[in-house]
Amino acid sequence: MTLYPKLILDALSNVRYPGTGKNLVESGMVEDNIRIDGNKVSFSLVFEKDKDPFIKSVVKAAETAILTYISEDVDIKGNISVKYRKILETKVKSEQTGAPLQGVKNIIAVSSGKGGVGKSTIASNLAVALAAQGYKVGLLDADIFGPSIPKMFHIEDARPVMVSVGGKELIEPIEQYGVKILSIGFFVESAQAILWRGGMASNALKQLIEEANWGELDYFLIDLPPGTSDIHLTLIQTVMVTGAIVVTTPQQVALADARKGISMFQNEKVDVPIIGLVENMSWFTPAELPDNRYYIFGHDGARQLAKQTGTRLIGQIPIVQSICEAGDEGTPAALRADSLLGQAFSELATAVVEVLDEINAE
């Protein structure tokens, strides 16, 4: 049985704190630090004061709920620690620096200032294009609240298994089209909304990065949620990100948000090199008129933004009807190397490799 944080939260929602009558999750008593190592589960419960009369009974009830609602095989007894809110409030958080991920040469964050610009489409096809060029590639769908990578690779029904590596139980990524893939979408029902606090989403991201059998990779792409959030900060605190790609469209509203995304990575506390901008939906090209370009959303907006921010424009991807169909069918357009889109993504992959070589040489 594969354990993940939502299972633990669902079980704990059956335990009520006697002082308020509310369940532990609703009361905010489950700290966002659930750790899962094989069948071993550990986390902290937060109480208002150290002399709370219900501490022992609540901890016992929490253990019982996990064994009852999940499985008797879960190793939980003695793994629940207790913290006190007043003490936590006086703590000062220190900045953490991400560490390299063993066996991974380059970690690429794929980001966008806003949703709807095709960020996941770019991440998926870039991963496929890099794999087609002979590189070892991994792709993590870190869009916790809106995972779309499983559908784009036609692996919605895939369920990763645990494997033993060096005496440790790790999640085995699903491999498709030469790309190793993990997504929170593998662990939840496709029609089910994920109602997690930011901390829980961040914890899930850390698990998918640190507790997976990624093996040796030349490029590890992480498809981030749109905007700037806890997920982005968790990423840079968890691993050493080599560089970031910011995806936008030519529209002014998208460019304004892309500028914020660039600013986030360039912030001195983040300090992640910008690999470059990718302009998606640059122009419309009808299948029957491959040489025609119709600039529906504006012309060269990303090129102008790149100049203004001192970054590079590393790719312009046109709108072709087949890109939508390919994503819906689970066959990324980059698989068809001789097509217009296949060539565009191959050129993008080459540009990313060249820029990363420059970054790594500095």
pLDDT at 83: 82
Q: Are 129 and 260 in contact (CB under 8 A)?
A: no
The C-alpha atoms of residue 15 and residue 4 are separated, in whole angstroms, by: 19
The C-alpha atoms of residue 224 and residue 335 are separated, in whole angstroms, by: 23
Looking at residue 337, the DSSP 8-state letter turns out to be T
The C-alpha atoms of residue 17 and residue 23 are separated, in whole angstroms, by: 6
What does the radius of gyration of the chain's CA atoms come to, in whole angstroms?
22
- E-assigned strands of 184-321? 217-223, 243-248, 274-284, 313-319
pLDDT at 38: 87
The C-alpha atoms of residue 17 and residue 28 are separated, in whole angstroms, by: 11
And the tokens for 99? 């560490």
pLDDT at 86: 60
The C-alpha atoms of residue 279 and residue 25 are separated, in whole angstroms, by: 41
Q: Is the dihedral of CA 158, 8, 229, 215 positive or negative?
A: negative
Q: Are 224 and 235 in contact (CB under 8 A)?
A: yes
* Residue stretches of the chain with pLDDT short of 70: 86-99, 189-199, 228-230, 322-328
pTM, full prediction: 0.72
Nearest Cα to Cα of residue 50 among 20, 14, 86, 81? 86
Q: Are 171 and 159 in contact (CB under 8 A)?
A: no
Using DSSP's 3-state secondary structure scheme, residue 214 falls into coil
For residue 189, what are the contacts with CB-CB under 8 A and spacing of at least 6? Answer: none
Measured in whole angstroms, the distance separating CA 180 from the mean position of its chain's CA atoms is 14
pLDDT at 37: 86
Q: Are 151 and 328 in contact (CB under 8 A)?
A: yes
Looking at residue 185, the DSSP 8-state letter turns out to be G
The C-alpha atoms of residue 117 and residue 250 are separated, in whole angstroms, by: 10
In which region does residue 203 sit, left (phi positive, over 0), alpha (psi from -120 to 50) or beta (all else)?
Answer: alpha
Q: What angle do CA 161, 111, 103 make, to 5 degrees?
A: 45
What per-residue string of b and e applies to 329-352 under the rule 16 or more CB within 10 Å gives b?
Answer: ebbbbbbeeebbbbebbbebbebb
pLDDT at 229: 66
pLDDT at 170: 92
For residue 118, what are the contacts with CB-CB under 8 A and spacing of at least 6? Answer: 247, 249, 280, 281, 317
Enumerate domains of the chain plus CATH numbers. 5-90 (3.30.300.130), 104-361 (3.40.50.300)
pLDDT at 328: 67
Rounded to the nearest 5°, which phi and psi values hold at 43?
Answer: -165, 180
pLDDT at 95: 38
Q: Is the dihedral of CA 126, 348, 115, 5 positive or negative?
A: positive
